[in-house]
Amino acid sequence: MTKLIAHLFPGVFLVVVFSLLKAYVIPAHVTFESWFVYVNFFVWIVCIVVPCLIYYLRTPPGIDHRE
């Protein structure tokens, strides 16, 4: 579980930074554009789902690598 958290930490950090940028830097009219919704979705997928997939492909559930 700690490896999963280690894989997720950079992604969560990037999502927080992107959310802060979206809230305070990017103008509101841009955030309502349809293309920006896709960019937001893509950022979440890359930052959260991809590290989980990498973790589960490297250590599938049910396999204990502790010795």
Q: What is the pTM of this model?
A: 0.70
Torsion of CA 67, 56, 11, 7, to 10 degrees: 10
In a domain, 65, yes or no: no
Using only C-alpha atoms, what is the Rg of the chain? 16
Specify the pLDDT at position 34. Answer: 93
Host domain of residue 13: 2-58
Q: How many domains does the chain have?
A: 1
In a domain, 31, yes or no: yes
Dihedrals φ, ψ of 2, to 5°?
Answer: -70, -30
In a domain, 66, yes or no: no
In a domain, 64, yes or no: no
Specify the pLDDT at position 63. Answer: 66
Specify the pLDDT at position 42. Answer: 92
Per-residue confidence in pLDDT tens, the chain, 67 aa: 677 788 788 889 999 999 999 999 999 999 899 999 999 999 999 888 888 888 888 876 666 666 5
Dihedrals φ, ψ of 42, to 5°?
Answer: -65, -40
Residue type, 25: V
In a domain, 67, yes or no: no
